Chain A
Amino acid sequence: MTRTRTAFVAVIVALFLVAGGILIYANQSHGGQNVTISVTVTGADKMSPSTLNAHLNDEVTISITSDQTGEVHLHGYDIAFDCTAGQATSHTFKADKSGQFDIEWESTSTPLGQLVVS
């Protein structure tokens, strides 16, 4: 390989690595806040809102009010909300795993929505 070619390759690779470093630094997660999310479940098959968002390492409180009695399960974090019809049930936990985690009406495995931790 000639010297110009080597220089060309080196410059492109170096530029690319620098750009990657800057992008990764600029997109660090901004977690560590206290986040409270209130949701309602109706008919044991619908949740509003259906997507709950949090950042990694947030202290998350989810409060669920359902019009039916039963368990709402947050998978991945494996948290059971034992809901009584008409009353709010809440759990607080640290969002220490990132990803998207399904929320289900446990007895029928009906998907209600997702918690997205990014």
Chain B
Amino acid sequence: MHLASVFLHGFGPRYDLPIAEWLYLYGAGGVVALSFVLVVVFAGDKVGSKAVEYPRWKVPALVGVARSSWPRFAGGVIGVLALIAVVVTGLFGSIRPERNPSEYITWIFFWAATVIVSGLVGNLWYYLNPWAAIYDAALARLRPAATLPNVGVWPATALFLSFVCLELTSGMANRPWLVAVAALSYTCLTLGGMVLYGRDQWLEHCEAFTVLFVIIGRFAPVEADRDESGRVTMVYLRPWGVGLLKPYPAGWDRVVFVILMLSSLAFDGILATPAWQDFDIALEPIWLPLGSLGFFFVRTVGLLLLTMTFLLVFVAIMQLVMYFGSRKVDLKTTVSAFALTLVPIALVYNAAHNYSYVMVQSQLIIPLLNDPLGKGWELFPSLAHVQPSFALAQAATVWYAQVILIVLGHVIAVYLSHLRAGERFRTAQRALLSQYPMLILMIGYTMVSLSILAAPTTNAG
């Protein structure tokens, strides 16, 4: 069973306890009760384009910051330094993941924390993207040599899937050298792609994290208006989540990308449950003879099956939504329009799942600054024995934070989906009726998230 107990997210133990049963039942009850409250509140609401109008407040003070080149410069420097640190410490540092900064930077600071902060504040990746920064500093004079064919965001979806496989299914995310090699390869690919097809073409269609963070940034409470030349004319604050109602290009590529966001998060949680462990052990006769390849195979198939299931359930629910909405609308546009309303549930689940990881384990990088490459250096001896603080991560605090997050995310999602239905279907009554299937889907998805957080965890999580 040694292979199966490889740590998830690459490395390190999780300290958080599963949510206590009473709190889980309370949270679950709350989700159902609030869903019905929302239905009552919504009855007889606005329809048409008015439904998706939302309030926003001007913040002239931020216009100067948005126009200035300093945030991009500072963000770019941080991004590039972090990329260099991942590669250098990954290749030349300790082989023990918990003693190698590349693991912390990649899985905690980038993958967990940047996603959470981007949802809370705004698209940080726009500023931090090291490849965009390198291109702007050194390669911007080159003219694109070719035009990107009309591929939508399929390349970004494929690259995102590869990244998720590295994290969750490879069982090798805890090898610092592999993280470094992956970062280097992705750097070559992205820089090459930008040189060949042009910066923005590549970023918007092929760079997985740009596509991902644009979606996350839509949840965030900051938005900017630009004039034709792209200059920021005004910066606004808006409630969390409503940006997901802004027009989004329709297409199966984008729907699959969003579904993959949802399914990979759920899969991450499922891997840590005893149920998955039992399933894994039951399949051992098949995969064990293949060694680590078999391990990779079982998990990848699991992830793909879960993604397919999510997609099929979503499409089936959308058929019902269209039936109850009783309006001739085509499936692709409707599916695309509603897919983003599921994003709040995924984001809050992500924050809840990674809460103590970001709050506690992130601090373990501090002692490593004394000797980042594991060579016995004494760069900052005073940091060598810093112990992580649990001040914000006692079990009770984590549980309450998790349940509050999950319930809030659910309410936001149900609300957005209702507004979207109001926009799509002609009468308020039809819009409300069309929302019942979606409400059931959302309650189901939220319950899955909550039950994963309440399930006993194993070493793999």
Contact = CB atoms under 8 A, between A and B. Distances in A.
A99 B395 contact: yes
A27 interface: yes
Contacts of B41: 1, 5, 9
A30 interface: no
Contacts of B394: 56, 97-99
Q: How large is the interface on B (under 10, 10 to 19, 20 to 34, 35 or more residues)?
A: 20 to 34
A75 B22 CA distance: 28
Interface string B379-409: 0000000010010011110000000000000
A19 B40 contact: no
Contacts of B16: 99-100
Contacts of B459: 102, 111
Contacts, number: 67
Interface string B9-34: 00001111100101100100110011
B17 A102 contact: no
Interface residues of A, number: 28
Contacts of B390: 96-99
A88 B446 CA distance: 48
Given A27-B22, A97-B390, A76 B33 contact: no
B40 A118 contact: no
Contacts of B387: 78
Contacts of B30: 16, 20
Interface string B34-77: 10110011010000000000000000000000000000000000
A118 B33 contact: no
A102 B13 contact: yes
Given A76-B15, A111-B5, A98 B33 contact: no
Contact of B17 (A75, A78, A100): A100
B33 A100 contact: no
A9 B40 contact: yes
B118 interface: no
Contacts of B96: 109
B32 to A, nearest CB: 11
A23 B33 contact: no
B396 A5 contact: no
Contact of A29 (B37, B40, B393, B396): B396
Interface in A1-28: 1, 5, 8-9, 12-13, 16, 19-20, 23, 27
B356 A99 contact: yes
A8 B13 contact: no
Contacts of B43: 5
Contact of A16 (B5, B13, B17, B33): B33
B389 to A, nearest CB: 9
Instruction: Report, nearest first, the 7 A-B pairs whose CB atoms are least far apart.
Output: A98-B395, A99-B15, A97-B390, A102-B13, A98-B394, A9-B37, A12-B37
Interface of B: 5, 13-17, 20, 22-23, 26, 29-30, 33-34, 36-37, 40-41, 43, 96, 356, 387, 390, 393-396, 457, 459
Given A20-B30, A23-B22, A99-B356, 10 more contacts: A12-B33, A97-B390, A98-B390, A98-B394, A99-B15, A99-B16, A99-B395, A102-B13, A116-B17, A117-B395
26 contacts: A5-B40, A5-B41, A9-B40, A12-B33, A16-B29, A16-B34, A20-B26, A20-B30, A23-B22, A27-B22, A29-B396, A76-B15, A78-B387, A98-B394, A98-B395, A98-B396, A99-B15, A99-B16, A99-B390, A100-B15, A100-B16, A100-B17, A101-B13, A101-B15, A109-B96, A111-B459
